[in-house]
Structure 1
Amino acid sequence: MSNGATSVNIGDVVATIVMLGFMVIPIILVVLFYRAYKKNVKRAEERLKVEKQQTFNLQKQVDELNERVRKIEKLLKEVD
């Protein structure tokens, strides 16, 4: 009694949706893991940049202290 129209089986529709869901979930997980990885890489690069700047500042302070010590030693030698 059909007029050339195909009937839709609800079971087939549900099975198709479930199968597509199982295929989409891994793709979504990969995208989420990739974003988390990129965010961690960016944070690590920024931390490294900050640590390099801190190291540079500390080295500068050490150099200044060494210069002061040399001046003090020179003054002490002149006093003796």
Structure 2
Amino acid sequence: MNTVPAQEVKRRGFAAVDELLEKGDVHVIRNNKPQYVVLTEERYQELVAEAQEAYLSRVRASLEDVKDGRVRKFANTDDLLQALDTEED
């Protein structure tokens, strides 16, 4: 993990993280804990695209469940909770 103390960022600005970014994401340490993560725009866009694809995959799987009849409907919350309790037994 690439790390840099927050004081170093305060002192040097982004120059403190520029070199480290070449090696990957940079964790900024504040009060001895990772507080922030600095990443390149390219890496950020990759993460956004991966999150979007994961979301779409979950939606597709849910639609397949509905299509194939693997979905149960309940009239109210109590019926749902009762069904969940029954499944645990």
When normalised by structure 2's length, the TM-score is: 0.37
- Between Structure 1 and Structure 2, the one with more helix by share is 1
Which one has more relative contact order, counting CA pairs under 8 Å at least 6 apart? 2
With the length of structure 1 as denominator, give the TM-score of the two structures. Answer: 0.41
